Structure 1
């Protein structure tokens, strides 16, 4: 059969392409043709019309809303989380073939299940809400990375006092702008970097709100979503306000789209009527009704974070570590990461400690598995040993996805082990009071970390715990992993595990 697939994850980096490789390998092994559209951070190449016409079924392996799903309305559809494609690609191929056999080719799917509710996956409100939120998070990550690293660079060049530097461009009393920049001054370059990074960070809440709304109701919801997000910034409602504004804008536009307008209005609905009405209503509600209560809630959350100390802070670090390691870059991981990034905008000491704990906990799983493969090679297949060598750099770079191939091959032993190690790292980082102003960078931003040596000790401790647990659990098996796994290298599920 001729199959299509779309893969997409919140960051659009590791999971997206690993799932694509898994599906391609599984389809080839089963004797079918497949074309995969990876809706990742590098963009995507859409299916051609010829491919859409010739296809027998499609697999949607995504943790975010798939773009332009209306293209596939005529195809039998199998929907699943992206991790299911990584670890269970042969099963998804089999489901797609079964669907194509049961449903006549090019027959529209039942209108009662447009999102694949009959595909054997959960598509209730909770799953859809997660997808909407993850779509918003996926679009803010580049802003976080660019803005955060520029701010961190400015601190490295000019110290933390660089935040008090004069504006690079200032407007005088006569409304004439002037540039305050000396190319020969390191302080000027630091101030420039800080102000560019700060502006990039200023987009976080509007982009979050805009693309949550986009995930719910497509392009007409972008304008009310962005405007609602800007109002959340203006009213000090923060990330919480952005979440509410995005959901409000998306729900409103989705409801308005259900109305069948007169033919004369149909052409201008998506570009004029819907954005106009949506922006007016969302703006009014955010300014007059929700802005101040959400700002009070945000202030309360910030004060609570600032009050954390001692045991409470350590427990929070352990919880964040567990979340980061649980799905290694998936929705739970991204929830912890988004929580940490949201705190950066407050600049409080506890928020900076949370960011440090999350990054340390995210570095631990790949480093632990790299260490385990180096210490006990006989417990790992040849493919896993190769992945272990790459995992050193991935872990050092804060790319938690480097642990996925190991978890996909042996989830019951690997996932609990890395969760335990990340919990240790997160709790120790909080206990040591280490802080981090950059939202990414791994080992390469250690000079920007407050209390760096205990921070590295926390990472080493968690890495050792996870590596010891993995080795111990694998050693308890009756047969060595290498003997069990070598034949699997030729199976459909082993090729994608290599990443």
Structure 2
């Protein structure tokens, strides 16, 4: 069972790494077009509308890419077409990224099973370009169109309406959960699940990235602040790394906090709590982030920027202060300690 779950996670993480290449440019250009419009709405004319068209293309393609590369991770090249087509159908029906994920896994495992059927050598090329894609597409596309698409679409619609209708109090546990997931493994699989969930909703529920985008920046900025505020607790090298971590946090790169956590695992729950506080604050402040990214770099495409910055500071200051209280003063190891001279003579033996 454990191996199965590991394999599922590996395939999903592989696909996510490809999907992000569609989400980021699509989301950034979509957000820029909305910002240029100046009305908080999708532009309909001028260069802003053309940028919106570019951004919308990226956002339209990320679900097919997600399904296609899940299938590619499982069945290699022969799985790409069935995965893309099945996930595209999931998007068209309204089954969203969940439908795309399911279509990708169906396509991948069906094609992988088909590849185990021994074909005569002369027909192997036909299998790769004809048989496997044809039957794989029928499996993934058929599953979405005939069976799974409408129930998943109904669930996605319910989830979107429910999340959009949440009041401040109801958003609190969601913000704490997503934020803790962001901070607990700093760019690892748990972090990626929470980030992907928010990123895939950026065009419909931008408040999710408002909180998650702030939480992403908290661990590196928080630990970097700790090295500046509590200098006696860190070596000179650590203080240099802390400055770099702040810059990485501003760029939305949580991984800048990893070196400190590997040196002191007690920081992991501190990061998780700080990110949870930040995400919850972003939700409660009503910040909107129209880019599928985090850190201060997305400020131009945020609404309620003061609230967004405040959310980051709340989490980062928590991390910095708790780290400072928790760690002892740094004591440098003296590599040049004087070795006491020992005089020996043969009379001693």
TM-score (norm 2): 0.91
1:419 corresponds to: 272
1:434 corresponds to: 287
Q: Distance in 1 between matches of 2:28 and 2:169?
A: 31
Distance 1:441 1:314, change over 3 A: closer
| Counterpart selection for 1:131 from 3, 7, 10 | 10
2:162 corresponds to: 304
SS at match of 2:180: helix
1:288 corresponds to: 146
Structure 1 residues not aligned, in runs of 5+: 1-121, 167-187, 488-499
| Counterpart selection for 1:366 from 209, 220, 244 | 220
Q: Distance in 1 between matches of 2:206 and 2:113?
A: 40
Matched, 1:384 2:241: no
Q: Distance in 1 between matches of 2:330 and 2:78?
A: 53
Q: Distance in 1 between matches of 2:112 and 2:300?
A: 47
Kept in 2, the 8 Å contact 1:162–1:194? The answer is no
Q: Deviations over 1:121-152 (max 9, x none)?
A: x9611111111111111111121111111111
Q: Distance in 2 between matches of 1:441 and 1:303?
A: 24
2:259 corresponds to: 405
Q: Distance in 1 between matches of 2:155 and 2:168?
A: 24
Once the two structures are superposed, the pairs formed by residues 264-343 of structure 1 within 5 Å of their partners are 264-343=122-201
My pick for the range that moved more, 452-461 or 227-236, is 452-461
1:153 corresponds to: 32
Distance 1:299 1:482, change over 3 A: farther
2:23 corresponds to: 144
Q: Distance in 2 between matches of 1:417 and 1:284?
A: 47
Deviation at 1:263, TM superposition (A): 3.0
2:47 corresponds to: 189
Deviation at 1:459, TM superposition (A): 1.2
Q: Distance in 2 between matches of 1:235 and 1:206?
A: 13
Kept in 1, the 8 Å contact 2:209–2:293? The answer is no
Q: Distance in 1 between matches of 2:289 and 2:171?
A: 15
Greater RCO (Cα-Cα under 8 Å, separation 6 or more): 2
Higher helix content, 1 or 2: 2
Once the two structures are superposed, the pairs formed by residues 88-167 of structure 1 within 5 Å of their partners are 124-160=3-39, 163-166=42-45
Higher strand content, 1 or 2: 1
Distance 1:303 1:269, change over 3 A: same
Matched, 1:259 2:259: no
Q: Distance in 2 between matches of 1:383 and 1:196?
A: 44
Q: Distance in 2 between matches of 1:440 and 1:252?
A: 34
Deviation at 1:302, TM superposition (A): 1.0
Kept in 2, the 8 Å contact 1:154–1:162? The answer is no
Q: Distance in 1 between matches of 2:151 and 2:110?
A: 20
Q: Distance in 2 between matches of 1:219 and 1:471?
A: 51
1:7 corresponds to: none
Deviation at 1:246, TM superposition (A): 0.4
Distance 1:209 1:441, change over 3 A: same
Q: Distance in 2 between matches of 1:437 and 1:376?
A: 35
Deviation at 1:482, TM superposition (A): 4.5
Q: Distance in 2 between matches of 1:319 and 1:161?
A: 28
1:473 corresponds to: 326
Deviation at 1:472, TM superposition (A): 1.2
My pick for the range that moved more, 443-452 or 336-345, is 443-452
Deviation at 1:162, TM superposition (A): 5.5
Q: Distance in 2 between matches of 1:260 and 1:193?
A: 49
Deviation at 1:441, TM superposition (A): 5.4
Kept in 1, the 8 Å contact 2:37–2:43? The answer is no
Deviation at 1:264, TM superposition (A): 2.9
TM-score (norm 1): 0.65
Q: Distance in 2 between matches of 1:145 and 1:342?
A: 10
Q: Deviations over 1:8-27 (max 9, x none)?
A: xxxxxxxxxxxxxxxxxxxx
